[in-house]
Amino acid sequence: MCSAVVPLSPPPATNALAAGRGVPARPLIGTLDSNRTQVVMETLLQRIVETGSAIAIIDITGVPTVDTMVAQHLMKTVAAARLMGTECMISGIRPQIAQTMVHLGVALGDVTTKATLAGAFATALHKMRLAITDVKA
Amino acid sequence: MDRIPILKMGDLLLVTIQVDMHDRLAMTLQDDLTDRIVTARARGVLIDISGLEMVDSFIGRMLANIASMSRVLDAETVVVGMRPAVAITLVELGLTLNGVRTALNVDKGMELLNSLGGHQG
Amino acid sequence: MPVEREQQLRLVSSEDIVLVRQAVRQMAADLGFSLVDQTKLVTAASELARNAVIYGGGGTARIENVNARQRNGIRVTFEDNGPGIADIQQAMKDGYTTGGGLGLGLGGAKRLTDEFEIESHPGKGTRVGITRWR
């Protein structure tokens, strides 16, 4: 059994650009799992430019603790990506992290957050009018 | 260079800023664009800043002004190609560029303009 | 590549602001600053250079390679003989939403750099120094 990414509905004419290149657009996923948040953030933004991803998912499942500095870097990255024209989602927010963020008064604003990477990926695909479906091999 | 060139593509105006702009050049661009939007009956303006290594508060204000003025003239503006280092610096500077639509590159910028203005780009 | 240890540039016209940006960029690149750090320093310098030209009636920018505790850095000092700032605290507050005003550049420049010093008195001009360490 394998899966493929297929459009939910006929893509608008302008998306023919991406399809024409033979590679369907997909959300970019960046994994944050170290304390070198600043470097990872800069790399993520660079990857966004290189891949032309209008949606990026920052997965923090592997982050042990979210202190003020990590939270601030996260928010700055989301803000920078938005300035560049990319929407970010944050996935992998465990209950403890959610509590910490609320205590720290971290304002997530209108950033979409999901508990799991799979959930964020599905949401991103939906926004891009794509879906994962099973294809008989 | 004493003015930044403005290209007309259908009812779209395309501006590519490739030089380290001094303030007067930025003001001239603002004026030129306002005139051109009217004379070309443009519905959209695409400003490519992929060549800019720096955007300070003056240039940021220029972009915001262009976005506002074009809207008054019934055109939409999209700024494309902002470099990561520039974006990071703007966030640190505290400049939000509210009211300025952005897209990653020219392709995405045109997509956005198409979806906004309903014109054939 | 030999690095200019110190440069002094005049700040009179808006074109001079660009020259200061370029000189700061060049020194930062030569010293191996990361792209993001270069951009932050250049942007801060641009804000302060503009203040000197527009509000200070013109002045100078001194760009120096500095060393301390085995760290390499760049210090840029802006001086003008303009009207000076009466209330520095007020001037440091941001006013981006209101647009215009002396406060725009100072707060931003401070956030973008590691060290920020300002000395100003009404009628006695203004001196602002910023430092970024590699």
Q: What is the CATH number of the domain that holds A105?
A: 3.30.750.24
- Residue-wise pLDDT for A28-80, tens only, equals 666 665 556 667 788 889 999 999 988 888 888 777 777 777 778 888 899 99
CA distance B19 to B12: 22
B24: CB partners within 8 A, 6+ apart: C14
A90 lies in which domain range? 2-9+26-135
Q: Provide, as residue numbers in chain B, all residues whose Cβ is less than 8 Å from the Cβ of A14.
A: 110-111, 114-115
Sketch the domain layout of chain C as residue ranges: 6-133
Binding-site residues on chain C for chain B (CB distance < 8 A): 14-15, 17-18, 21-22, 25, 35-36, 38-40, 42-43, 46-47, 50, 94, 96, 99, 104-105, 107-108, 111-112
pTM, entire model: 0.85
Which CATH number among 3.30.565.10, 3.20.20.480, 3.40.50.450, 3.30.470.10 corresponds to the domain C6-133? 3.30.565.10
**Is A15 within a domain?**
no
**Is A21 within a domain?**
no
Q: Provide, as residue numbers in chain A, all residues whose Cβ is less than 8 Å from the Cβ of B85.
A: 42
- Residue-wise pLDDT for B56-112, tens only, equals 999 999 999 999 999 999 999 999 999 999 999 999 998 888 889 999 999 999 999
* A42 touching B (Cβ < 8 Å): yes
Task: Please tell me the total count of domains within chain A.
Answer: 1
**Is A67 within a domain?**
yes
ipTM: 0.91
Structural fold of domain B6-113:
Transcription Regulator spoIIAA (3.30.750)
**Is A117 within a domain?**
yes
Sketch the domain layout of chain B as residue ranges: 6-113
CA distance B97 to B77: 13
Compare A91 and B52 and report the one with higher pLDDT. B52
- Interface partners of chain C (CB pairs < 8 Å, 3 or more) are B
* A102 touching B (Cβ < 8 Å): no
B5 to chain C, closest Cα gap in Å = 19
